[in-house]
Structure 1
Amino acid sequence: MGIVAHVDAGKTSLTERLLYAAGVVDRVGRVDDGDTRTDSMELERKRGITIRSAVVSFRLGDLPVNLIDTPGHSDFIAEVERALSVLDGAVLVLSAVEGVQPQTRLLMRTLGRLRIPTLLFVNKVDRVGARYDDLLADIRRLLTPTAVPMQSVPDLGTRAASVVPLDVQRAELGEILAERNDDFLERYLQGLVDQAVELRKQVAAGDVHPVYFGSAMTGVGIDEVIDGIRNWLPRATGSPTGELRARVFKVERVAAGQKIASARIVSGTLAARTPVAVHPGDGPEYQTRPSGIELYVDGARRPVDRVEAGQIVALRGLKSIRIGDQLGVPSTYARRLFAPPTLETVVSARDRVRLFQALTQLAEQDPLIRVRKAGSTGDITVSLYGEVQKEVIASLLASEYGVEVTFSETTPIHVERLNGTGTAIREITEGPWAAGVGFRVSPVAEGIEYNLEVELGALPRAFHTAIEETVRQTLHQGPYGWEIPNIRIDLTHTAYSSPVTVAADFRRLVPLVLMRAIAEAGTTVLEPVNQVELDVPPDTIARIMAHLAEHRGVVTQATQNHLEGTIPAAGTHSFESQLPTLTRGEGVLATAFHSYSPVPAAPPIRHRTDGNPLNEKQYLLHLNQSS
C-alpha cells in the first residue's frame, strides 16, 4: 500500500507510527529531528520533506504489508506516479487544521481514476484549530461524496483529543452503501445484512472511502487506522502459479555504482540468475537475468533465491533497467498519470564531463530528469517540475558525485505538434550507407505509434530494432528542436545488402529520412499552460486578476477570495514570486499542468544535439566528428 498526502500533512510520521506498532523500530522517529526510517537522504532530513519513495515491509498481525512512503511536494509528483502504479490500496493523509489542500485534490482524483481502494486519515486532531464536521463537508465536496467517518473525536483541538469508534451497522453508513448496490438495498430494507461485508466490497471497488481520525505524533487513533487497513483494504490477489508480471518503480545506485531496481511482483515467480523478458516503456523487448534478488521483509532487505506474487523486491545485475519497465508478460497499464516536466534549466560546473556523467546517472533514478547536451554550445540542461528540484539536484551532485553546480533561469519546455501527413523514402543507392528506408508520418491524439507496413521477415531482426530505437530517439528533436510526443510513424520501405549492411547504417540513415517526412508534414510549436488555483484576501482579488492578465493568464472562475484559471508556464514563476507582496503574504497558490497551446509569437528554437538531420552536409559533418 502507499501513503500519500500534501506536503506537511504527516504521512512520514504516520509511517513511523505503523513501523513502531509492527515492532520494526523501538522508538518513533520525528521528521523535525531528522531521524525517520524512510527519509534516508541528507536533504530529506534537513528539509523535513520526502523526496524519494521509500519501501519498508512489516506485518500487522497476519497481514504482510509492503508500505511505500511517497513525496508530498508537487515538485516530486513523478515519484508518486511510480508508487501508484504498483499499489493494492492507499492511505490519503489530511491535516485536521489545514484540511483539503491542492495536492490532496490532485492525489485523490488520481487514486479515483485508477480505482485504488483508499482510506482517509485525518491527522493532527490534537492541534488548535482542528475541525471535524466542516472538514468532513469539505472532504465530501472536494474529494469524494462517499467519505464515511469511522470515529467521533471528543476534545477535538486539545491535547486530550481521543477517538471513539462509530457503529458499522449505523443507518448513515447503510444508506450510503445502499445507494451503490441494488441487491444490498433490498436486503438492507429487510434488515438482513451485515454492513461490514458490504463496506469491505465497496471499499475494495474504490466506491466508498472510510475516514479515520488521530494524531501520528501522539499515537492517538493509530490502532484504529491499523484495524481499518486490515479490515477494509483488499489483500494482494496475484497467483504465484501464473505468468510472471512485475513492474519496476524505483532505480538507485549503491556506493559501488551497481544498479538496484525495486519491483512489485504482480503474479508468477522470479528466480535469481534465470532469464527474464524486459519490456521498456519506449523500446523493444530484450532478455536479461538478475544476478541477485533481495526481499523487503521486517523493515530490511535480505537475499533470497526466489520471490513470488505480492512481494516487493530489489533486483541486482540489470544494467539497462529503467523505471517503468515491465518484467515477464507486459500488462496493458502503461499510461502516465501526471504530466511530464514542463520546465528546464542549464546546469553549469567546472568539469562538464563529470557533470554530464553524474546527471546521466541521476536520470536513471528519475527518468523525468531528462539530460540534454547541446552540440553547438555544449550547454547541459535538465528538465524540472519546479524550483525546489534545483536544490535537490544540486545537493545530490555535491554529496554523491562531488560536483558543485550553478543553475540558469528556469525556462519552459515546448513541444511540436504535427500539422499533417508527410512521407519520405531513400533507396540504398542514394548515400554512403548500405541501407534504405521509407516513412509516412501523421498526427495522433496521444503517444507514439510505430507500425510496420513491410514484412517483418524481410529484414534481420537486429536491423528492425535499430530502426525503431533510432526513430524514437529522433523524435526528441523536431524541426524547431523540440520533442514531438504525439505522432504515428509507418515504416513503408526497407532495403539492405547482405553481407555489407550493418545496424549502424540504419541508425545513421533513419534521422535524415524521418526528419524529411516530418518537415513535409510541418509542425507547430506549443507552450505548456498551467492550471492555477488561488486563495487570496478579498480586498486583493482585483489586483490579482490584473496581475494574472499581465502574465497572459485567463480567469475561469472567481469568488470573493478564490480564483481558478490558466497561465502559461513561462509566466508562472514570475507570477508566483510577486504573489506574497500582492497579498501581504496571505495568498496560497497551487499550480498543475493543464495543456499545451500554440505559441502566440514567433516559435522559439532550441539548440540541437543531433547535428541537424534537416541539413545533410551539417549532419554528415556531425557524424564524422562523433565517430
Structure 2
Amino acid sequence: MVTTMKRIVTGILAHVDAGKTTLSEAVLYTTGQLRKPGRVDHGDAFLDTNAMERARGITIFTEPAIIHTTNTTITLLDTPGHVDFSAETERTLRVLDYAILVISGTDGIQGHTETLWRLLARYHVPTILFINKMDAPGASKTHILSQLKHRFNDACIDFTTTTNETTNTPALAGVMEEIAMQTEHAMNEYLETEQVSVATIQTMIEHRELFPCFFGSALKMEGINEFINGFETYTQEPNHTKEFGARVYKISHDAQGNRLTWLKVTGGELHAKALLNGGNDETTWSEKADQVRVYSGAKYTTVESVPAGAVCAVTGLTHTFPGEGLGIDQSAENPILQPVLTYTLLPGSNDTHKCLMALRELEDEDPLLHVVWHARLQEIHLQLMGAVQLEIIQQMMHDRFGLDVEFGPGAILYKETITTPVEGAGHFEPLRHYAEAHVLLEPLPEGSGMQYATTCSEDILDRNWQRLIISHFKEKEHLGVLTGSPITDIRLTLLVGRSHLKHTEGGDFRQATYRAIRQGLMEARAGVPNDASAFDIAQRFAGDDTDHDTDDANTKKNTNGDTPTGENATTEAMPCRITGMGNCRLLEPWYRFRLEIPQDMLGRAMSDIQRMSGDFDTPQPTGASGSEYAVLNGTAPVSEMQDYAMDVNAYTHGRGRLSCVFAGYKPCHNTEEVMKHTNYNPESDLENTPDSVFCAHGAGYPVKWYKVPEFMHLDYAWNGMQTQ
C-alpha cells in the first residue's frame, strides 16, 4: 500500500523569549533532522543562520526547514519574535497553510502575542498552539487555558492527551464533548456516534472553528512527540490548482550578491528557466527564473522543479516584491503593520550616494523599511519600527557594504490626511511642454492607506496618458501641507486631463499630477468650499497682491489647449501662507497597551495615562504571583508612551509589566505643538510645490496655487458627488 505524502507549509510564531526557536530545534531533533538540538543562547540554532542572529540570540529573518514525518512533508518557517521585525512575520503569513503559535507557560499572552493572533485572524490562517515552559515554577495549565479562552477564543481546547497505540492517533475522549460544542455539524455527529471524526476535526481547524492546544517544554523535550503526532493527524493539505500560481513572501541576497525571491508555489509546478510574469496594468514585467533552490537552514539544493505546496528561492527575478502574486495567484493585501519612527542617516566620511544605494537594497528586502531621500536637505531619512531594527540595519551596513554609519535621534513618524473631498488642479506648460490634470482627493476610513482610480473618459484623455498619471500617483510618497509628512487614507482619482499632440512628454504629466495633488491639499487646508468657483478661490486669497488683467484672452483658460497670449498674462502674487488645519488632519501612531500593576498603584497608572492623552477601559482585577494585581487595557500616543515601560519598572519596583502593540494612526493629540516645532511652509517646499506653470509670449510663468482655478484650461470636473 502506497501512502501519499501530504505537503504542509507551517510557520512558527511567538512573542520574543517564548521559546519559539527552541521548539523548532526540538521538532527537528525529534523527527531525525538533527543529531543534536541547538540552542539560541548557545548560538548554534539550526534556523538562526545569520551571524547577527547567533550573536544576539534572536531570530531576525524567516528561515525554512524541511521536516519529514510518517506521511507528511512539513516546510517549517521560523519567524522573528521581536516586535521590531514583525513585518517579516506578517508577510510570511500569506504563504502558510497552518501556523504554530507558541506561548510561554509562565508569561501567558503578551502584547505581541495578541498582535500575532489578530494577524492570523486577518489572513485566515488555521492555528495550533503550543504552550511552552510548562516545567517552570508558576506555570499553570488551568490558568493559561482560561486566559486563552477569555482573550482569544472559546475554541482553544487542550489536545495534550495520550496516544491510541492501536491507531497511533491522539485519544481525545476527555475533551470530545467540548470539541463537539464548537459547531452544529460536530454536535450532530457527536450525538449520533459519541465521537467527532478526525475528518471533522481537520475541517474545524482549517476553518478556524477549533484551536488545538498542546502543553510541554521544548527545552526538556516534554510533549514534543504528542505535538508532532497531533499536528500530523489533524492537518490536511490544501487543494491546489493545476494552473501555475505563486506567492512571494520575502526578498534577500545570498553571499555572492544574488537576489533571491522566496515564494510558495500555490498551484501547478515551477520549473527552472520558466518565464514568469508580474506587475499590473501600469507596470508589467517578464523575467526568467534562472535557478530554483530548496533551502533547509543555511543549505540548499538546486532543483529542476518544485510542486504546488512547496517553498523555494528563485534567482534571476529583479522586479518582485513581498506580497506579490504570480500566475493565477494575483491577489494582494496591504500590510497592517506600519513604521512609526524616523531617523536621519549620518554618513560620516562615507559617500552619501553609496549609502543610499546600500539602503535601497535593504529596503528591497524589508517592505517596512522606508528610505526617503530629501533632495532639499540632502539627507537620507529612514522610517522603521524601532531601535532594535535600527541597530540591525547599522550592523548590516557594516557587514555587507563596509559602511560605518550612525543615525540621528529618532522622531515620531507623523502622517496627514483630509476630512472632506477636494479637487486639485495642476498645469505644467513651460515652452514646448504641455499637461493639465485634475485630481479628486477623497478621505478614506482609518487604516485604508492610499487608493487610486480614474473616471476620466478616454475620449478626453488617451488611455496611455491615464495609465501614466496613475503610475505617478503611486510612484512617490506624496507629502501633506501641515508638517510635510506623508499622506494616507486618501483616494486619488483622475477626473480629467489634457495633453498636446506635439508638446506633451511623459514628464509633463508627472509635474501636472504632483502639482494637482498639492494644490488640492492646499485648498483643503485653506477650507475652500467644494462648490467654490474659480473666481471665488482666486479672490479669497488674492487680496491686493495682484494687478494683472483678468481679460479672458489673457489669463483665463485657453479652450484650444494652445499657449495663451496677451500682454499681461503673467502673475506675481505674494506668497499666501495659510495657518491652521482647515480640512487637513495630522495623524500620529498610537499604541494599544496592556498594563499589569499592583492594585495599590492603579491610581498612579491611571493618572499617567490621562496625562499622556491616552484612554483606557475599566480596570480588571487579576491574580499574579499570589498577589492582587489590576490590568489596564487602552490606547495612547506612541510619542507619549514609548519610554513609559522604564517608568513602570521604577515606580512598581519591577512588579509592573507594560506591553505595547501598534494600534494604527489616529488624530494627533498635540497638533499645534507639532506644527509649531516643525515650522513647515508648503509654499517654500519647491520640491513639492502646489503652484502651476503656464505659458505666454514664448515663456513659462508661475501661477500661485490659489489662482490656478482662474487660469486652468479645463473646467472643474467634480460636481460634489462621491466617486464609486
Establish whether TM, by shorter chain, passes 0.5. Answer: yes
CA contact (8 A) 1:248 1:324 kept: yes
> Displacement, 1:610?
7.2
> Which residue in 1 is equivalent to 2:171?
168
> Displacement, 1:84?
0.9
2:30 is the counterpart of 1:21: yes
One-letter amino acid of the counterpart of residue 310, structure 2: Q
> Displacement, 1:297?
6.0
CA contact (8 A) 2:438 2:495 kept: yes
> Which residue in 2 is equivalent to 1:527?
588
Q: Map of 1:145-544 to 2, 5 A cutoff?
A: 145-151=154-160, 168-170=171-173, 172-191=174-193, 193-239=195-241, 241-242=242-243, 244-279=244-279, 284-296=283-295, 300-336=299-335, 338-350=336-348, 351=350, 352-426=352-426, 433-445=433-445, 446-455=448-457, 463-480=465-482, 481-498=484-501, 501-522=504-525, 523-544=584-605
CA distance in structure 1 between the partners assigned to 2:689 and 2:428 by the alignment: 18
CA distance in structure 2 between the partners assigned to 1:513 and 1:96 by the alignment: 56
> Displacement, 1:195?
3.5
Residues 118-127 or 63-72, more deviating: 118-127
Q: Which runs of 5+ in 2 are unaligned?
A: 1-9, 163-167, 526-583, 621-628, 694-699, 702-724
Q: Map of 1:538-577 to 2, 5 A cutoff?
A: 538-559=599-620, 560-577=629-646
> Which residue in 2 is equivalent to 1:625?
none
> Displacement, 1:591?
0.9
CA contact (8 A) 2:426 2:514 kept: no
> Which residue in 2 is equivalent to 1:591?
660
**SS of equivalent residue, structure 1 residue 175:** helix
For normalisation by structure 2, the TM-score amounts to 0.77
CA contact (8 A) 2:49 2:297 kept: no
One-letter amino acid of the counterpart of residue 181, structure 1: T
CA distance in structure 2 between the partners assigned to 1:188 and 1:414 by the alignment: 54
**SS of equivalent residue, structure 1 residue 37:** coil
CA distance in structure 2 between the partners assigned to 1:394 and 1:375 by the alignment: 22
CA distance in structure 2 between the partners assigned to 1:460 and 1:37 by the alignment: 56
One-letter amino acid of the counterpart of residue 264, structure 2: R
**SS of equivalent residue, structure 2 residue 642:** helix
Residues 406-415 or 68-77, more deviating: 406-415
CA contact (8 A) 2:434 2:508 kept: yes
CA contact (8 A) 2:169 2:233 kept: no
Deviations 1:180-215 (A, max 9, x none): 333432342233644433222211211111111222
> Which residue in 2 is equivalent to 1:156?
none
Residues 518-527 or 458-467, more deviating: 458-467
Q: Which runs of 5+ in 1 are unaligned?
A: 154-164, 622-627
One-letter amino acid of the counterpart of residue 138, structure 2: G
> Displacement, 1:534?
0.8
**SS of equivalent residue, structure 1 residue 360:** helix
CA contact (8 A) 1:152 1:166 kept: no
CA distance in structure 2 between the partners assigned to 1:293 and 1:33 by the alignment: 32
> Displacement, 1:368?
0.9
CA distance in structure 2 between the partners assigned to 1:258 and 1:251 by the alignment: 11
> Displacement, 1:70?
0.7
One-letter amino acid of the counterpart of residue 14, structure 1: L
Deviations 1:444-479 (A, max 9, x none): 222333222234587666544432222123553122
> Displacement, 1:151?
2.4
Q: 1:179 to 1:245 in 2, by over 3 A?
A: same
> Displacement, 1:526?
1.5
One-letter amino acid of the counterpart of residue 121, structure 1: F
One-letter amino acid of the counterpart of residue 404, structure 1: D
**SS of equivalent residue, structure 1 residue 144:** coil
2:645 is the counterpart of 1:582: no
CA contact (8 A) 1:374 1:607 kept: no
CA distance in structure 1 between the partners assigned to 2:223 and 2:268 by the alignment: 37
CA distance in structure 1 between the partners assigned to 2:26 and 2:155 by the alignment: 27
**SS of equivalent residue, structure 2 residue 618:** strand
CA contact (8 A) 2:112 2:660 kept: no
**SS of equivalent residue, structure 2 residue 643:** helix
CA contact (8 A) 2:269 2:306 kept: yes
Residues 396-405 or 81-90, more deviating: 396-405
**SS of equivalent residue, structure 1 residue 136:** helix
**SS of equivalent residue, structure 1 residue 122:** strand
CA contact (8 A) 1:360 1:371 kept: yes
CA distance in structure 2 between the partners assigned to 1:453 and 1:113 by the alignment: 31
CA contact (8 A) 1:263 1:313 kept: yes
> Which residue in 2 is equivalent to 1:50?
59
CA distance in structure 2 between the partners assigned to 1:457 and 1:14 by the alignment: 62
**SS of equivalent residue, structure 2 residue 221:** coil
CA distance in structure 2 between the partners assigned to 1:150 and 1:191 by the alignment: 20
CA distance in structure 2 between the partners assigned to 1:234 and 1:554 by the alignment: 44
CA contact (8 A) 2:155 2:182 kept: no
> Which residue in 1 is equivalent to 2:114?
105
> Displacement, 1:568?
1.0
> Displacement, 1:433?
2.3
**Pick aligned residue for 1:614 from 683, 690, 696:** 690
Residues 115-124 or 267-276, more deviating: 267-276
CA contact (8 A) 1:474 1:511 kept: no
CA contact (8 A) 1:245 1:266 kept: yes
One-letter amino acid of the counterpart of residue 400, structure 1: R
2:18 is the counterpart of 1:9: yes
CA distance in structure 1 between the partners assigned to 2:156 and 2:470 by the alignment: 48
Q: 1:279 to 1:431 in 2, by over 3 A?
A: same
**SS of equivalent residue, structure 1 residue 557:** coil
**SS of equivalent residue, structure 2 residue 236:** coil
Deviations 1:573-598 (A, max 9, x none): 23233232222122211112224114
CA contact (8 A) 1:343 1:385 kept: yes
CA distance in structure 1 between the partners assigned to 2:156 and 2:435 by the alignment: 62
One-letter amino acid of the counterpart of residue 687, structure 2: G
CA distance in structure 1 between the partners assigned to 2:85 and 2:144 by the alignment: 27
**Pick aligned residue for 1:134 from 127, 137, 143:** 143
**Pick aligned residue for 2:126 from 117, 128, 138:** 117
> Displacement, 1:17?
1.9
**SS of equivalent residue, structure 1 residue 611:** helix
CA contact (8 A) 2:516 2:690 kept: no
CA contact (8 A) 1:375 1:607 kept: no
CA distance in structure 1 between the partners assigned to 2:129 and 2:414 by the alignment: 37
> Which residue in 2 is equivalent to 1:80?
89
What number of residue pairs does the alignment pair up? 603
Q: 1:461 to 1:325 in 2, by over 3 A?
A: farther
**SS of equivalent residue, structure 2 residue 671:** coil
Deviations 1:98-120 (A, max 9, x none): 22222222222332343322111
**SS of equivalent residue, structure 1 residue 140:** helix
CA distance in structure 1 between the partners assigned to 2:94 and 2:22 by the alignment: 23
> Displacement, 1:236?
3.2
Q: 1:180 to 1:578 in 2, by over 3 A?
A: closer
> Displacement, 1:55?
1.6
RMSD: 2.8
CA contact (8 A) 1:251 1:322 kept: yes
Q: 1:428 to 1:515 in 2, by over 3 A?
A: closer
